[in-house]
Structures are given as C-alpha cells and as structure tokens.
Amino acid sequence: MVDVYVMGRHYRVPQGLTILTALEYCGYRVVRGCGCRAGFCGACATVYNFRNDAQLRYDLACQKTVEQDMYLVQIPFFPALKAIYDLDRLEPRGEQVLALYPDIVKCYGCNTCTKSCPQELETMWFMSDALRGDIRQVAVKSFDCVMCGLCAARCPQGLVPYNVALLCRRLYGHYLAPVSQHLEDRIAEIRAGKFDAEMDKLKKMGRGDLRRLYDQREIEPA
C-alpha cells in the first residue's frame, strides 16, 4: 500500500494505481477532471508534491502512477484567455499572432511553462517562436499539446501558450501547408460525377458478387 494525501487528507491505496484510479479507490466519484482516461484529452491536469518535498510537479492524473507520500490536487478548470477570430480573415504572419495575443511580449523567459508541461514540450521555445512570428516552428513544436492548460495556470504573466499554439497550428494548416494537388483533383472528379455510374453498379450488386470482387481485389503493399 502507498500513503497519499488527497487535498491534504490521508489515504492508503494499493500500489500501481494511477492518480485517477487512486482517487476512485479512495471513494471519490470524479465528474470534472476526467475525460479520455488515456492521456489525450487534458481533462485531468494535476499538480502534486511530496510530504517532505514542496517542489511542485505536474502530470495527467490518468497517466501518472501514485508514489509514496504524494500530495494530490487536480486542476479541472482554469479561466484561460482565448482569442475569438475568423480564421478566413487572418493573415499567417507574426503580427497577427501578436494582435490576437498581445500579452506574449510579456514573457520574460522563466521557463515555468516548459517545466509544467506533462507532455514535456518545449513550451517556452515555441512561445519565443511565436514572438518571432515563426508560425511553422510553433506548429511543429507544439503539435503534441493535449491542451490541459497547466502552462497557462502556471504562467506568472498570465499568458496562454496552449491557445497561442492552437492559433499558430490553425494558421499553418489553413494558409501555409503546401497544397495537395491530388486531393483537389479527386474532389473535382467526384463533383463531376466520374464515379457515379460505377458506384451505382456496386450499390446494386448482390452480396455474392460483391464478396467475389472483394476477395479478388488487388492490395497495395503497406
């Protein structure tokens, strides 16, 4: 058994539980602070430290195993700023990011955002990329962000790295990613009805014929 402290109260829980399942073992029925239960949704952002070690640590409650003497609390909601915008009317330039999130100039490089990221992203570096207007770099470096909000919760300047990064990724996808010509061509073919006659034939085909066609189809090597 492991000793843990949920919001200060002592419990003993079996070894090998995650913070989330430990809370449930203690008898808590979680409503907020639990989403995918698999490390993808960011709902269960958690801070913890230890009985004799005040240094704060950060993780996702569903992915972190409980350890002896952990002090636990979840941060299920944080009132972070989100700019409202019409993506179609933006320009993929640094000035645009600055116009929507002017506070990013206040970053003084303390690196707390990076230290608080449960995905171990280089948060402060992509914030400086955002300041420099390098939208592509922000998109690349922030890509694995689950938007748990811990960076915003911990930023002493009130910045919202996860929302700044989302803006940059959307700008990149909409404006900067190279065009996929084969995709455009296929959309045009479908609109022109190129596949309609054959599709009608397939739709009317009996199960036996369809099955034969399926079993005989040629398969492109993976």
Partner 1 sequence: MYPAHMEESIRKVEATRGRRLQETLRRLSSDEKEPLLREHHPDFIAGKMRQLAVGPNKGEYTPSELADLLEGNSRIDPDKIDLGRVDHDLDVLVIGGGGAGATAAVLAKQSGATVLLATKLRLGDANTVGAQAGTQAADRPNDSPLMHYLDTMGGGHFDNIPELVEALVKDAPEVIRWLETLGVNWDKNPDGSMHELSGGGASRLRLHSARDYTGLEEMRVLRDEVRNQGIRHLEFSPAVELLLDGRGHAAGAVLVNLETNELTVVRAKAVVMATGGAGRLHIQGFPTTNHYGATADGLVLAYRAGAQIIFLDTMQYHPTGAVYPMQILGQLVTEKVRTLGAQLVNAEGGQFIMSLEPRDVVAAAIIRECQGRGKGIATPAGQVGVWLDSPMIDMIRGEGSIARELPAMVRQFGRFGIDIVKEPMLVYPTLHYQNGGIRISADGSTSVAGLYAAGECGGGVHGRNRLIGNSTLDIFVFGRRAGKAAAEWSRKAAPGALSLDHVRRWQKGLEQAGLAGSRPVSPLLLPDYARPMADFLPDSARRSLPVQRVKLT
Binders of partner 1 in range 24-63 (CB under 8 A): 24-32, 34-41, 43, 63
**Smallest distance from the beta carbon of 47 to partner 1, in angstroms?**
17
Q: Does 5 bind partner 1 (CB under 8 A)?
A: no
Choices 50-58, 109-117, 150-158, 202-210; region in contact with partner 1 by CB under 8 A: 202-210
170 binds partner 1 (CB under 8 A): yes
- Pairwise CA distance, residues 58 & 45, whole Å: 7
- Does residue 10 contact residue 3 with C-beta atoms inside 8 Å? yes
Looking at 48-56, 108-116, 125-133, 200-208, which segment touches partner 1 (CB under 8 A)?
200-208
Confirm or reject binding of residue 93 to partner 1 (CB under 8 A).
no
Q: With binding defined as CB under 8 A, does residue 89 bind partner 1?
A: no
Total residue length of the chain: 222
**The one-letter amino acid at 101:** Y
Stretch that binds partner 1, among 49-57, 109-117, 126-134, 213-221 (CB under 8 A): 213-221
Q: Please work out the total of residues on this chain that contact partner 1, with binding judged by CB under 8 A.
A: 74
Residue burial 57-80, b: 16+ Cβ < 10 Å; e: rest: bbbbbbbbebeeebbbbbbbeeeb
- Report the interhelical angle of 135-142 vs 123-132 (nearest 10°): 160
